[in-house]
Amino acid sequence: MIEYKNDKIQEKYYVEVLENGLTVYLYPKKDFYKTYAIFSTKYGSQDIEFTPIDLENSINTPEGIAHFLEHKLFENEDGTDASTLFAKTGADVNAFTTANQTAYLFSATNSINDNIELLLDFVQEPCFKKASIDKERGIIEQELLMYLDQPQSVLYFGLLKSLYKKNNVRNEIGGSVESIKQINEELLYQCYHTFYHPKNMVFCVVGNFDKDELIELIKSNQSRKTFGEFKPITRKYYLEDEEVNEKHQFTEMDVSIPKVTVGVKIPYEKLTPYEILKKTIAIEILTDLYFDESADVYEKLMNSRVINNSFEYDVYFEETYRHIIFNLDTKNPEKFVESITKIVNKISKQDIDVEQFEIMKKLYQARNIKRFNSLEYIANLMVEFHQNDLAFFDLLKSVDELTIDDVLEARKYFSTNAMSSFTIYPSKK
C-alpha cells in the first residue's frame, strides 16, 4: 500500500490497486467507534450513451437505467434482499445514484469484516430475472410518481431543463415511467458488465479498523472472483455553451408559498481535473463573499426581506456540466429573481477587497478541516476525487494555493445572459 500524509491536519490514508484493477482506499480513524465503507462505480444517470464492453458501436440506453440497476443489485439469487443480511449484523446499508456515479455503502460499529465481504459480494454478484425486473419496475414507477409530488425535486430538475438543451444532467436520475418500461434483462447485464468492472470502481473504508488485516481481507475476496478484460469506456456527452434553454419557466403545485430557483449556467471549457478543482473553489469563495451569512450583501437582502432563512445556494462545477443555483421560498419570487440578477451582474464587474478574500479563504479552509471529523464526508469526497483523477489531499492544497487573481478570474462565469429561473406557484383551487 502507498501511504499519503498531510502535515496540516496530521492525518494519512493508504491506497492499493488490486490485480483486477480495483482501487482500494483505507483511511484509519482509531478514535472513532464507527466504520463507513463505500463501493462506487463511475456510472451515473448522465451515462446513457456509450459503447458497451462487448460492442464496437455506441448505444442509447433508457433514462434511469443506472438507478434501476442500483435497485436490482440488492436482490440476491434466492430472491432475498441484501439489506436483510446487513441488518443481522446491526449495520446500516444504503445506495445512491447521481449524475456521475452509483454507490453502495454501509456504516457499522461491529462485524466490520463480515460487512465488507457482504458489500463486495452483493454488488459483484448480479442476478437479473424478468419476473423480478417487472416487479421492480412497478416499485420504481411509484417512486417516480412520488418525486413528481415533491416540490424540491420538481424545482431542481425544472431548472436544469431550463438551463440545458441536450446535456443529460437535465434528465431525472430515476428516468420516467415511460423510459423504465424499456429496461430489460439484456440491457441491465450490458450496463453492468460495462461499468461494474473493478477497474471502473473504487472501494473506500474510513473508520476504526486494522489496515493490514483489512487489505488482506479485500484481496482475498477479490481473488476468488473472475472478471473479463476491461475495455476503456467511450461515453457520449453533450457539452454546452452558456446559452440557456429557457429564461423563465413555472408550474403549479400544492405548496403554501411559491418556491423559486435561479441558475447561472457556466459554459464548457476543457480543463484538467486540478483546474476544475481550483475553479470550483474560486467560484465558491466568490459566491460566499456575497451570499455567506457574514456578507454585507446577504445582510442587506435579509433586512429588505428579499430573502429569508430558506435561502440556499450551491456550486456545481463538474467535468461535463457546470452551474450555480440559488433557492428561496418567498411570496415575491419575481423580486428574488430580479435581485439575484442584479447581484450576478455586480459580481461580474466588481473588484474584490484583498482582506475580505483572505478572511473568506481562511473560513473556507477551516470548514474543510472541520469536515474531516465526518467519516461520511471523507469517504464520499475520497471517491469523488478518485473518479475525477485527483489526490484526496489536493483539496487542502488547492485552497492554500488559491490567489485573489484566481477569484477575480472566476467573475467571468457570472453572466446574466446565462441565467434561468424556475418557479413553483401554489395551485389555484
Residues marked active site are found at 70
* Backbone dihedral angles phi then psi of residue 282, each to the nearest 5 degrees: -60, -45
310 touches 151 (CB < 8 A)? no
Closest to 153 measured CA to CA, from 142, 144, 164, 163: 144
Per DSSP, the three-state class of 390 is coil
Adjacent-strand bridge partners of 251: 424
Task: Give CA separation, 37 vs 84, 358, 395, 426, in Å.
Answer: 17, 36, 21, 42
Name every residue whose Cβ is closer than 8 Å to that of residue 102 and which is 6 or more positions away in sequence.
40, 41, 43, 44, 66, 67, 69, 70, 95, 96, 195
Q: How far is the C-alpha of 289 from the C-alpha of 296, rounded, in Å?
A: 9
DSSP structure string for 225-252:
-------PPPB------S--S-SEEEEE
Contacts with 164 (C-beta within 8 Å, 6 or more apart), sequence order: 170, 238, 240, 244, 245, 265, 321
Max distance between CA atoms of the chain, in angstroms, equals: 65
Amino acid at 365: Q
Q: Say how many residues make up the chain.
A: 429
Structural contact between residues 292 and 284, judged by C-beta atoms closer than 8 angstroms:
no
